[in-house]
Amino acid sequence: MPKISVGRSDEDFEEHGLKGTGVIGKHLVGENEEAHKANPIHFDLAKPHVMGVFGKRGTGKSYSLGTLAEELQTSGISDNLSTIIIDPMGIYWSMKRPNDRAASLLEDWGLNPDAFDANVYIPKGKVGEFEKGEMTYDDTFTLKPSNLTADEWAMAFGFEMNSETGILLERVISKMSENFEDYDIDRILEVIERFDFPDDVENRLQNRFMSAKEWGVFGEKSSLEEFTNRGQLSIIDVSVFGEMGDGWSVRSLVVGLLAKRILRRRMTARRIEEIDEMEGLNENEMPIVWMMIDEAHEFLPADGQTAASHPLMRWVKIGREPGVSLALATQQPAKLNPDALSQCDVILSHRLTSKEDIDSLGNIMHTYMRHDIQHYIDALPDKKGVGLLLDDNSERIYPIQMRPRKSWHAGGTPDAFED
């Protein structure tokens, strides 16, 4: 049987074969109800990728991100990788449990239910809510206020830099960083008073900083470094900002700072690795980082900017060199930043129905498709976890049945039937 590998160049295939790939599903051959599962599809985990995972609600996006995370954890090269899942719905903690309810389905695939050693991180200030709700977590994370630029604060607060409040903010933050190496929000509140701005402007800014204290993400140290340990699977649970009006701004701030920091560290590590390679050493300095973002259009929208937009676009544009990979899941690819969309080298698209979304897909991968994208979508059988896999590296498109999860997926649709 010819081997199907996606995301891997011919050159890498010749040198490494299928080492450092993971089987994410099987090629579907035939149309609609006639379709049957054929060859396994191997996905390249060793090289950096920008991957898009699309599909309307309930078609398997979150599930498939989990499958990819499982493969990253169990491949022969896992020690050189580190996986971070940005979890806005709070569903990935269940990867710690084996998927016992799918035992027989897994058996058909020659697989067994399996628990994964995932570390679930929550914002430190939200521990109370988690404990009260008996929700699972392993550790907490915090951000340092002094690590934020005026722009990042403004984006998190949702006001323009050239508004009066924005101008005051800019002055305050530059004063802070001139005078203190480290500072907390209380310090910022004090310093705002000392400026000669109209009271209402000062009050408005102070109110925003007071509400920022309630976000529960700030602390004395930044713990973002912990997420890039070798072989580690980190789940950043940012679901708890759900009820807050500025919930998505806070989530974006977390993702933006994390992305910025990891990229910077990988760039430094890459330089050292290059020297090691010259000297014949081959363990990497710092693992290659995979960041998977569910509901990605909220972080990297087509319209407007979030605090995560710029840092994530840097991953998309230059991530190949330092070695960072992104998987972006969204139900509306048309709402995702079009530059990010066009840079995806692999796309897994579960069923889409809106014309706008189908067109946005068709626009980027048209060169090697023999038919209109709609044709391929129409030929998919009506089953959970089916989709199209578009590979820019090999310029191929494969209908795919994604494999069942070894670990429990908590994102299923609840129903009112009694089992």
Ligand X SMILES: Nc1ncnc2c1ncn2[C@@H]1O[C@H](COP(=O)(O)OP(=O)(O)O)[C@@H](O)[C@H]1O
Interface residues toward ligand X, by CB under 6 A: 55, 57-63, 384-385, 402, 404, 409, 411-412
**Residue 55 interface partner, choices Mg ion, ligand X, none, CB cut-off 5-8 Å depending on type:** ligand X
Query: What's the one-letter identity of residue 72?
Result: L
Q: Which lies closer to ligand X via its Cβ, residue 43 or residue 141?
A: 43
Select 284 or 331, whichever has its Cβ closest to ligand X.
Answer: 331
Do residues 116 and 96 touch, judged by C-beta distance below 8 A?
Answer: yes
Residue 96 contact, options ligand X, Mg ion, none, Cβ 5-8 Å cut-off depending on partner type = none
For 196, the token pair is: 């000669």
Site of interaction with Mg ion (CB under 5 A): 62
Q: What is the smallest separation between the CB atom of 105 and ligand X, expressed in angstroms?
A: 7
| Least distance to ligand X, CB of residue 60, Å | 3
Contact 132, 227 (CB under 8 A): no
| Residue 66 near residue 92, CB atoms below 8 Å | yes
Q: Which residue is nearest to ligand X (CB)?
A: 385
For the CB of residue 241, give the shortest distance to Mg ion in the complex, in Å.
17
- Residue 110 or 245: which CB sits closer to ligand X? 110
User: What is the gyration radius of the CA atoms in the chain, in angstroms?
Assistant: 23
Residue number with CB closer to ligand X (82 or 349): 349
Which two tokens mark 277?
């390679």
Q: Residues 284, 85, 139, CA angle at the centre, nearest 5°?
A: 90
Q: Smallest gap, in angstroms, from Cβ of residue 401 to ligand X?
A: 7
- d(CA 331, CA 382) in angstroms, rounded, equals 18
Residue 59 touches which of Mg ion, ligand X, none (CB < 5 to 8 A by kind)? ligand X
Which one-letter amino acid corresponds to residue 146? S
Q: Is 48 helix (H, G, I), strand (E, B) or coil?
A: coil
Of 415 and 418, nearer to ligand X (C-beta) is 415
Query: What is the smallest separation between the CB atom of 387 and ligand X, expressed in angstroms?
Result: 9
Residue closer to Mg ion, measured from CB, 218 or 408: 408
Neighbours of 306 (CB within 10 A): 22
Q: Least distance to ligand X from the beta carbon of 208, Å?
A: 33
| Spatial CA neighbour of 93 closest among 410, 413, 416, 366 | 410
Residue 26 binding: pick among ligand X, Mg ion, none (C-beta 5-8 Å cut-off by kind): none
Instruction: Quote the CA–CA distance of 33 and 418 in Å, as a whole number.
Output: 30
**Among ligand X, Mg ion, none, residue 301 binds (CB under 5-8 Å by kind):** none
CB-based contacts of 204: which residues, under 8 Å, 6+ apart? 165
